[in-house]
Amino acid sequence: MKKIILSFIAALGLVAGAAHAAGGATIAWDKAPNKTNDLPALQNGAKLFVNYCLGCHSAAFMRYNRLQDIGLTEQQIKDNLLLTTDKIGDTMKATIDPKQAKEWFGANPPDLTVIARSRAGAGGSGADYLYTFLRSFYRDDAKATGWNNVLFPNVGMPHALWELQGERRATFDETTHAFKGYEQITPGKMSAQEYDAAIADLVGYLQWMGEPAQNTRVRIGIWVLAFLFVTTFLAWRLNAAFWKDVK
């Protein structure tokens, strides 16, 4: 009997190993710093999002006035983040015409409202994926956009933040084609550390936008659990009081 169980466990291990090998991961995902409780970082992320992402990507389920949850006032949102034609209660729409986008990039840029939730997987959280993806672009003249990505080879998206990061080249092992590292070609407006911090803020914002209620949820959850622990104690004593005479 033990043998049967053991061979089952062994088989299971084999299956898990095979599944892992078949994944064909390009590079491991970096761990994104958790910024969902850091209001200045989220505000900076929102600014980056509106300036660099919203041109092509929409966030069609996210209303501008929800940004009040990350500490911005209605006036600040109107002055800094809103296009003149939009109203504060509107959702975040891309400025690009979807038809044109399809022509330029070969596909419609995906909506980003819940992108951080959809990209989670075996490699880590959705935030980890985005944090790695946005830091993995390199120059590739073979591509129509002039850009390629180590995490997502042949991606349709060009490097929208290249001004900040500067241009980089990627080096690959000649025989195994495994990724080896980057070489900076031209400097960006930011140092490598500053760029990573900016991406962390942007990804933090994307993560927050995926579920704006997430911090409220955790805060309330603690009280709900505290209440339930007290109730459970009372229920336990109530039960004991009724059953103490049952022989």
Of 171, 160, 169, 162, the closest CA to residue 190 belongs to 162
Q: How far apart, in whole angstroms, are the C-alpha atoms of residue 161 and residue 52?
A: 7
Query: CA gyration radius for the chain?
Result: 24
Q: Is 144 one of the binding residues for another protein (CB under 8 A)?
A: no
State the alpha helices, DSSP H only, in the chain: 2-22, 39-48, 74-80, 98-105, 115-118, 126-133, 162-165, 192-210, 214-243
What would the x/- binding string for another protein be over residues 84 to 113, using CB under 8 A? --------------------------xx-x
| Residue 221 found at the interface with another protein (CB under 8 A) | yes
Instruction: Kindly state whether residue 19 participates in binding another protein, applying the rule CB under 8 A.
Output: yes
Nearer to another protein, 142 or 224 (CB): 224
Contact 46, 59 (CB under 8 A): no
CB 128 within 8 Å of CB 199: no
Tell me if 22 contacts another protein by CB under 8 A.
Answer: yes
With respect to another protein, which residue has the nearer C-beta, 126 or 204? 126
Query: Taking a C-beta distance cutoff of 8 angstroms, is the pair 64, 92 a contact?
Result: yes
Determine the size of the site formed for another protein (CB under 8 A).
Answer: 53
- Please report, to the nearest 10 degrees, the dihedral formed by the alpha carbons of residues 171, 107, 119, 20 taken in order: -60
Is 117 a binder of another protein (CB under 8 A)?
Answer: yes
Quote the Cα angle for 213-49-32, to 5°: 65
Residue 229 binds another protein (CB under 8 A): yes
Residue (120 or 170) nearer to another protein, CB: 120
Q: Does 120 bind another protein (CB under 8 A)?
A: yes
Which residues are near another protein by CB under 8 A? 1, 4-5, 8, 11-12, 14-16, 18-19, 22, 60-63, 66, 110-111, 113-115, 117-121, 126, 210-213, 217-218, 220-222, 224-225, 228-229, 231-232, 235-236, 238-240, 242-244, 246-247
